[in-house]
Amino acid sequence: MTDRFPDEPAPEPAAEHGPEAAARPSAESAEEPVLEPIVEHAAEGPLEDMADNPAEMRAHYRAEGLDESSLAAHPMDQFARWFKQAAQAAVQGMIYEPNAMVVSTADADGRPSSRTVLLKQYDEQGFVFYTNYDSRKAQDLAVNPYVSLLFPWHPMARQVIVTGTARRTGRDETAAYFRTRPHGSQLGAWASEQSSVIYSRAELDAAYAELSARYPEGSQVPVPPHWGGFRIAPQTVEFWQGRANRLHDRLRYVAEPNGTWRVERLSP
């Protein structure tokens, strides 16, 4: 199965260590139209007039349904299908950064935290993102590898919810991805002591300026030893499709001990 690297920050999936998307036959086999919801307000007036009353903000969906018979056999094939459509929606201006996902972790005491991170690769082994290994999420994962991912493609009335376990990527894989990053992003990985308290923005800018002088454009920036990837091996993958009257379609793949997947329908 071909690895995919969604470009940074471009919205389309890309081939292994390269800028172009890698097509898979299974992802092409069941094309579906890009769908979007109709939004109707429960009260008259623009949304900003309802800011003090979120209960008045309602979206009524007209999306077509999601049926078991239309699913791919493997959840990552189904994800590839939906991700391609989300990337197409991004080209049309419907979605910004379709590879943005909410990563939720918990520390050793079970206290949760969430943040938005960019997906950088996906394949049959799972989902990959990169981060500072001293960050809060990485510290959480060091003591509690269970993690949840959420892809919130609201304009398409779709969500993908993943639960699984995280492990670090190998250094060779990390280095290969790091060298595809823009020069400024490479320097940023060194300049930022992610999640630590800093005195001011000027402190961060000064660190970046020093690194820019040390590694000018065109020079090779070494991979920070405290920076790398996590691969999330999915245990469940839920595909959520908004439907009318809040009767949404929720189909969840569940990993079986023998390596196969079963699909179950959840009540909305």
Query: Could you give the residue numbers annotated as active site?
Result: 246
Task: Tell me how far apart the alpha carbons of residues 24 and 17 are, in angstroms, rounded to a whole number.
Answer: 16
Distances (CA, A) of 217 to 55, 193, 194, 214, 220: 51, 22, 23, 10, 8
Number of H helices, E strands in the chain: 6, 9
Please name every residue paired with 264 in a beta bridge, in sequence order, or none if there are none: 252
User: Which two tokens mark 103?
Assistant: 């990563």
Q: How many CB atoms lie within 10 A of CB 205?
A: 11
Strand boundaries in the chain, DSSP class E: 100-106, 112-118, 121-123, 126-132, 146-153, 158-168, 227-241, 249-255, 261-265
Please tell me whether the peptide bond between 257 and the residue prior to it is cis, using omega within 30 degrees of 0.
Answer: no
